[in-house]
A and B are shown apart, each in its own frame.
Chain A
Amino acid sequence: MATVKFAGIVKNFKDNQVLKKVDLEIKDHEFVVIVGPSGCGKTTLLRMLAGLEEISGGEIYIDDTLVNHLHPSKRQIAMVFQDYALYPHMTVEENMSFSLRLKNAPKKEIKARVAEAANILQLGKLLHRMPKQLSGGQRQRVAIGRAIVRQPKVFLFDEPLSNLDAKLREEMRVEIAKLYQRLHSTIIYVTHDQVEAMTLAGRIVIMNQGVIQQVGTPIEVYRKPANLFVAGFIGSPTMNFIEGTLRVEKGHVRFSSPSLSLDLPSKLLPADGSHEGREVTLGVRPDDVCAGREAGKNCSQKFDSVLEVSELLGHRENLYLKTGDLRLLATVEAFFNQSPGSKVPVCLNFDNMHVFDRETQARISA
């Protein structure tokens, strides 16, 4: 139970600036998921909060207490390391009870808490094994177990499910969601998995190259990505981007690119009228590329495209379309039943269209 606040956090490794003024406030009992490409500084941020990495600039507060110089052991934080970091000379049980034994907790309580965690994580049969006798997924679960017996103020999870198979990952995801309901702790969770981020997060933090790009609820970052990076990062398959220029003609705005020209509806853009000649990128999710089916009522005019490849994913199908020099990905219901090379009429749904300024990369559509 704690609030966490990063204020202007900077981290330099020699000349390499890894975090550039990170500001983030996390509320009590909040589940925050941090996503971002490899090397963007997610682990570094967690390590600084845990006290394992020196702070080059800025301040970190836990519960309004400045912790910049507080020893890791005094921060009441539990961390699941990206590489597990199990104590190899201790059994699973000893690993999980290590912190409680350090605190001289009563034997009975230790036993009960370890048993509870083992139960949640399906580790009951493994309690007396050594880490080297476990599979990768089992080790990862022990690492999680070691954190949850602690009942800390803040949980830090660094890609805790990355080594599990799809089925176990799903199960563990649900367990973590349940755990969160029960524990009332604040959780900061790093992942590469879109599904984990969207399903677990109260708020998602998207980072790139040491800078926070956007903070918002899963729906916010999906529906209203703040810039091109977020738009391309959130959502799978990736959003289609079309580069072009805006022209204002007779009161309405026209988007034109070598392969495609569209009249944009007036409510898509703010009515400040400064759009003439602006270089922009249109963003359209594959779901909003309507191919071969009846267009919704708020759709662009139809244009022709050629089907290059189609991928069947079960109940959905990915269509790789080409119109002029422009490639578009459309996701439609299975079975599309058209062979490569055939002509497909397409339109774009304006309801979920995003317009980004190409110079600032920022979102300009409402």
Chain B
Amino acid sequence: MTTDAIRAAGAEQAAAHRRKKLIKYALIHLGIIAFVCVCVYPLLRIFSVSLRPGDKLVSTDLALIPDGATFRSYWSLLTSTHFLRWLWNSLVITVATSFIGVSLASTAAYAFSRFSFGGKKAGLILLLSTQMIPAGMLILPLFLMIMKLGLMNTYLGMIIAYSVSSLPFSIWILKGYYDTIPRSLEEAALVDGTSQIGAFYRVILPLSTPALSIAFLFNFTTAWNEYLVARVVLFSSKQYTWTLGLFELQGQFITQWGMFAAGSMLVTLPVLAVFLYSSKWLISGLTLGSVKG
């Protein structure tokens, strides 16, 4: 072969390689686009319902922005109902739940991860097994407990119920993450002069932000979307969370679908914001480079 022929063969090979890569990328992206469509479609439908004049849930119109699109549903939702109050209730309960839930879980998980004590294994399994009980079964006991505590129809009752029920999941997530952090980091901190708790705050917590934000998101979304417990604990319209509030719009004879859809759109905003904000903490590989290996 002449050098030219060799060069040509090389170029051919490179081109084939590039084509292969291109096809791979195309396939991956096709898959992603399909998923996005499936996820976004319902949202778009709700959006279009919320803009329709009149309370029509079904229509022959398939356009995203319907004829005579209007924000009137939004306006009447905000002015003629307690919607803002409901949002506020939900927000207070959810944020408090998330912070309390994550702080309790982060410390409990630390104990499970780092110390050996009697009943550690049993405790972990017990925590896991609570997750197997259907939520509906817990309604009655929760109702009784909150009533006995005199916390019916209060924020505090809701916060306790919510943060406690997310604990097992959060503890497991965090324990699993702590287990991957080398112990020698804490030991170095101890030798450097921190207490055990100091090592936890200065070394373990900063390194656990990915797991902490997952636990936070989990707490936030479950509390934000919860309906059953709220139905049982809250009974005055002013204390309602938005889940209860929106269902109040569903009258016996007519349902105000426009307002319902508008409400649904508005309640996604806080969750969206929290997700966007926390995504930057979800980076993995924080402990890279700390120890040999």
B252 within 8 A of A: no
B207 within 8 A of A: yes
A136 within 8 A of B: yes
* Contacting pair B190 A81 (CB below 8 A): no
* Contacting pair B289 A134 (CB below 8 A): yes
B286 within 8 A of A: yes
Residue of B nearest to A132 (CB): B289
Within 203-240 of B, Cβ neighbours of A (below 8 Å) are at: 203, 206-207
* Contacting pair B190 A86 (CB below 8 A): no
* Contacting pair B293 A83 (CB below 8 A): yes
With A and B bound together, what is the CA distance between A131 and B203 in angstroms? 14
Complex interface: chain A residues within 8 A of B290 (CB): 84-88, 131-132
With A and B bound together, what is the CA distance between A50 and B189 in angstroms? 12
The distance from the CB of B98 to the nearest CB of chain A, in whole angstroms, is 23
B192 within 8 A of A: yes
Complex interface: chain A residues within 8 A of B287 (CB): 88
Complex interface: chain A residues within 8 A of B187 (CB): 47, 50, 52, 72, 81, 85
Within 63-104 of A, Cβ neighbours of B (below 8 Å) are at: 71-73, 75, 77-79, 81-89, 98-99, 102-103
A130 within 8 A of B: yes
* Contacting pair B289 A81 (CB below 8 A): no
Complex interface: chain A residues within 8 A of B190 (CB): 51-52, 71-73
Residue of B nearest to A86 (CB): B290
With A and B bound together, what is the CA distance between A103 and B192 in angstroms? 10
Within 151-171 of B, Cβ neighbours of A (below 8 Å) are at: none
* Contacting pair A89 B206 (CB below 8 A): yes
* Contacting pair A84 B193 (CB below 8 A): no
A133 within 8 A of B: yes
With A and B bound together, what is the CA distance between A88 and B181 in angstroms? 10
The distance from the CB of A218 to the nearest CB of chain B, in whole angstroms, is 28
With A and B bound together, what is the CA distance between A99 and B198 in angstroms? 12
Complex interface: chain B residues within 8 A of A85 (CB): 182, 184-185, 187-188, 290-291
Q: How many residues of B contact A (CB 8 A)?
A: 25
A354 within 8 A of B: no
Complex interface: chain B residues within 8 A of A130 (CB): 289
Q: How many residues of A contact B (CB 8 A)?
A: 34
A363 within 8 A of B: no
A163 within 8 A of B: yes
* Contacting pair B191 A87 (CB below 8 A): no
Q: Mark A127-164, 1 if CB is under 8 A from B, else 0.
A: 00011111010010000001000100000000000010
Partner of A163, one of B184, B189, B285, B292: B292
Residue of A nearest to B184 (CB): A85
The distance from the CB of A98 to the nearest CB of chain B, in whole angstroms, is 5
Partner of B207, one of A83, A88, A98: A88
* Contacting pair B185 A87 (CB below 8 A): yes
B288 within 8 A of A: yes
* Contacting pair B207 A99 (CB below 8 A): no
B130 within 8 A of A: no
With A and B bound together, what is the CA distance between A81 and B207 in angstroms? 19
16 contacts between A and B (CB under 8 A): A51-B190, A71-B190, A72-B187, A72-B191, A73-B193, A81-B188, A83-B291, A83-B292, A85-B290, A86-B290, A86-B291, A88-B286, A131-B289, A133-B289, A136-B292, A139-B292
5 closest A-B pairs (Cβ-Cβ)?
A132-B289, A85-B184, A88-B290, A99-B192, A131-B289
